[in-house]
Amino acid sequence: MTASSEISPALPVEVPPVAPAPGRRRRQASSVRTRVAWAMVAPAGLHALFWIALPVLATFALSVTNYSVLAPLRFVGLDNYTRSFGDPIFLTSIWHTVVYTFFTVPVAMAIAVFFAVLLNQQIRARSWYRAAIFLPQVTATVAVAMVWYQIYDPYSGLANKLLAFLGITGPAWLADPNYALPSVIVMGVWQGIGIKMIIYLAALQNIPEELYEAAELDGANAWQRFRQITLPMLRPATLFVGVVSIIGAFQAFDQVYVLTRGGPANATTMMTYEIYKNAFATFQMGLACAKSVVLFVFLFALTMLNRKLSGGGEDE
């Protein structure tokens, strides 16, 4: 249910052939098994149809209506879309979503790959370091956002108290339109490093040792080996991490809700927050669905782009 639980499209999808079962007894047995198989798939399948497939279709259908819980439903064509793109706050929210993604994803990825390489050595306390870096990912976004809400407090927050040590008067962070979005971004980077590092660590362990040994024989130094072997070999992982992270970042909501409620003066509002406001604060469900479709189109385009970049089409 959470925005974070989406999965990447890059997973392998293969259905292995099963040998046909000849003979009458086998055939009878197989018809029994077919019934059993359907009975086993049915609960999960019907649940997915009712709670995922139906809502997705409904989102598209409702996006061309004026549906609000209060008024009767009426077809309005593309009105919700023209209204959305004519609304400067929604356009701002798209911009903020893009800025948030642009800064959190690559920065966290760079940090993640660096520490993945460090932790890929046999060093003492390795699993403790890994746990510490991963910890922000395990805890609820709402809870860690509450902690950052305190850190950013202008008077008693950790950030300004540390700055005061250096003789600097810190800004009001979340209440200052110039600092609010960067503040949300910093928390996003901090929270996002862990999972990226874990995926990179798994990818690093698949790089054959011989490549490094050969390079070493050729006299390549550590930096050259990193540039010429590690980075190229990590390319599939990088694409994978990139797309999953972008999809996640586009759906950031909890931290915005806790830290700023989209403020001050819409300085941190994101597409998800606008959808939430339209649907559940002003009950303009049709309008909210149109904005959901816009968000979906962004994510769909990114997914397709990834398939193309990662040499998709192999599985066709």
Partner 1 sequence: MSSRERVNPRTRVATHVLLVVTSLTMVAPFLWMALTSFKTDRDIATFPPTWLPSSWRVGNYADALSVAPFDIYFRNSLIISIGHVVLNLVFASLAGFALARYRFRGREVVFLGFVALLMIPTYTKIVPQFLIAKTMPLFGGNDIFGYGGSGWVNTWWGLIIPGAVTPFAVFLFRQFYLSVPHELEDAARIDGLGEWRIWAQIASPLIKPAFVTAGLLTFQDSFNNFLWPLLITTDDNKRVVQLGLSVLKESGEGFTTQWNLLMAGTTMASLPMIVLFLLTQRYFVQGLATTGIK
Q: Report 159-178 residues binding partner 1 (CB under 8 A).
A: 161-162, 164-165
Contact at 8 Å (CB) between 174 and 260? Answer: yes
139 binds partner 1 (CB under 8 A): yes
85 binds partner 1 (CB under 8 A): no
* Largest pairwise CA distance in the chain: 87
Dihedral in degrees, nearest 10, Cα atoms 85, 51, 258, 195: -100
272 binds partner 1 (CB under 8 A): yes
Please identify which residue in 81, 95, 212, 226 interacts with partner 1, judged by CB under 8 A: 212
* Residue at token pair 């469900």: 285
Please identify which residue in 99, 175, 233, 299 interacts with partner 1, judged by CB under 8 A: 299
Structure token digits, residue 126: 């390795």
Euclidean distance between CA atoms 174 and 259, whole angstroms:
7
Cα angle 250-256-257, degrees, rounded to a multiple of 5:
125
Please identify which residue in 73, 110, 202, 214 interacts with partner 1, judged by CB under 8 A: 202
Euclidean distance between CA atoms 210 and 214, whole angstroms:
6
Contact at 8 Å (CB) between 73 and 67? Answer: yes
The separation between CA 148 and the C-alpha centre of its own chain, rounded to angstroms, equals: 20
Binding residues with partner 1: total (CB under 8 A):
121
Least Å from the CB of residue 203 to partner 1: 9
Please identify which residue in 22, 74, 88, 155 interacts with partner 1, judged by CB under 8 A: 155
Please identify which residue in 122, 217, 223, 314 interacts with partner 1, judged by CB under 8 A: 122
128 binds partner 1 (CB under 8 A): yes
Chain residues 217-256 in contact with partner 1, contact rule CB under 8 A: 240-241, 244, 247-248, 250-251, 253-254
304 binds partner 1 (CB under 8 A): no
Nearer to partner 1, 77 or 205 (CB): 205
Euclidean distance between CA atoms 65 and 287, whole angstroms:
8
28 binds partner 1 (CB under 8 A): no
76 binds partner 1 (CB under 8 A): no
Nearest to 98 by CA among 307, 241, 271, 243: 271
81 binds partner 1 (CB under 8 A): no
Contact at 8 Å (CB) between 256 and 279? Answer: no
What count of residues does the chain have? 316
3 binds partner 1 (CB under 8 A): yes
150 binds partner 1 (CB under 8 A): yes
Number of Cα atoms under 13 Å in the Cβ half of residue 40: 6
Euclidean distance between CA atoms 21 and 220, whole angstroms:
57
Least Å from the CB of residue 40 to partner 1: 4
Dihedral in degrees, nearest 10, Cα atoms 250, 254, 259, 262: 50
Please identify which residue in 71, 73, 91, 131 interacts with partner 1, judged by CB under 8 A: 131
Least Å from the CB of residue 184 to partner 1: 15
Nearer to partner 1, 49 or 78 (CB): 49
Q: What are residue 118's phi and psi, to 5 degrees?
A: -60, -40
Chain residues 50-69 in contact with partner 1, contact rule CB under 8 A: 50-56, 58-59, 62, 69
Please identify which residue in 220, 263, 296, 307 interacts with partner 1, judged by CB under 8 A: 296
Least Å from the CB of residue 8 to partner 1: 5
Nearer to partner 1, 118 or 231 (CB): 118
Cα four-point dihedral sign 144, 150, 153, 159 = negative
301 binds partner 1 (CB under 8 A): no
